[in-house]
């Protein structure tokens, strides 16, 4: 049976480290007393040092934080449409950063036969898969597949799909892009559990090339995830 290999991986995050700013912002939404003290303790013990976002945190004169896009204003958090506008604007930027770091040669770009994109934090049409094809100048005949709304395990399903493609299509070269803008989905809440969950997620992207050739960073097989 044909074995699929990960030939190359590249990752990218936005420029803005928002971890400290988020802790201060979330802290301000929690009533003073035991819940706020518990949030501070959990944030301190989380061992998280950095989380990145397309949103630039800006401190105002009152010691409170806002974001550069004015999305998260206390008392008027945005509707879904506004969040998706931001996804359409910023997701391609982050995707391009990861794809450029993948450093594909012109020959490798010409050889790509399939593009898989995973995301559960946003969508638009025409989608991110079109932007990938356009940015890399891929042949418009490449087969595109969107894997959406599967959460953290979407990349595993993308790898499983790439494995099936590689073992069933001769000379297949599968480009996968996994991208999430988690900071788009923060809610205005005093609920401690929700705020702690927001503490875990941020924005990031990974691009990887899968084929039957054991080149570059090669993982023996995907049998374990099939």
* Amino acid 224: pLDDT: 37
Q: Give the model confidence (pLDDT) of 122-137 as tens digits.
A: 999 999 999 999 999 9
Rounded to whole angstroms, the Cα distance separating 100 from 33 reads 48
Nearest residue to 121 (alpha-carbon basis) of 35, 29, 50, 205: 205
Percent composition of the chain: helix, strand, coil (DSSP 3-state, to 5): 40, 20, 40
Helices 34-45, 19-29: inter-axial angle, 10-degree rounding: 160
Rounded to whole angstroms, the Cα distance separating 10 from 17 reads 19
Q: What residues act catalytically? A: 152
pLDDT band at 223 (very low <50, low <70, confident <90, very high): very low
Q: Give the model confidence (pLDDT) of 91-129 as tens digits.
A: 999 999 999 999 999 999 999 999 999 999 999 999 999
pLDDT band at 213 (very low <50, low <70, confident <90, very high): confident
Q: Give the model confidence (pLDDT) of 38-83 as tens digits.
A: 999 999 999 999 999 999 998 776 657 788 888 988 888 999 999 9
* Amino acid 225: pLDDT: 39
* Amino acid 131: pLDDT: 97
Residue 53 phi, psi dihedral angles, 5° rounding: -145, 155
Rounded to whole angstroms, the Cα distance separating 162 from 157 reads 8
Q: Give the model confidence (pLDDT) of 160-183 as tens digits.
A: 999 999 999 999 999 999 999 999
Rounded to whole angstroms, the Cα distance separating 94 from 170 reads 31
* Amino acid 145: pLDDT: 96
Strand partners, 11: 206
pTM score, whole prediction: 0.89
Tokens of residue 200, six digits = 């875990």
Q: Give the model confidence (pLDDT) of 7-47 as tens digits.
A: 999 999 999 999 999 998 888 888 888 989 999 999 999 99
């Amino acid at each position: 049976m044909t074995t699929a290999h990960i030939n190359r991986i590249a990752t990218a995050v936005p420029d803005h480290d928002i971890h400290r700013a988020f802790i201060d912002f979330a802290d301000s939404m929690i009533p003073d007393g035991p819940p706020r003290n518990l949030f501070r303790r959990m944030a301190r013990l989380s061992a998280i040092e950095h989380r990145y976002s397309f949103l630039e945190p800006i401190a105002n004169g009152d010691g409170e934080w806002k974001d550069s896009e004015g999305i998260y204003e206390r008392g008027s958090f945005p509707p879904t449409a506004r969040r998706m506008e931001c996804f359409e604007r910023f997701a391609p930027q982050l995707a391009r950063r990861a794809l450029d770091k993948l450093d594909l040669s012109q020959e490798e770009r010409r050889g790509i036969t399939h593009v898989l994109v995973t995301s559960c934090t946003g969508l638009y049409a025409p989608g991110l898969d079109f932007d990938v094809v356009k940015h890399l100048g891929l042949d418009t005949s490449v087969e595109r597949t969107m894997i959406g709304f599967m959460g953290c395990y979407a990349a595993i399903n993308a790898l499983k799909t790439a494995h099936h493609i590689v073992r069933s299509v001769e000379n297949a070269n599968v480009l996968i892009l996994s991208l999430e803008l988690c900071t788009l989905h923060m809610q205005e809440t005093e609920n401690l559990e929700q705020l702690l969950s927001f503490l875990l997620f941020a924005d990031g992207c990974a691009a990887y090339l899968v084929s039957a050739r054991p080149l570059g960073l090669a993982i023996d097989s995907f049998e374990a995830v099939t």
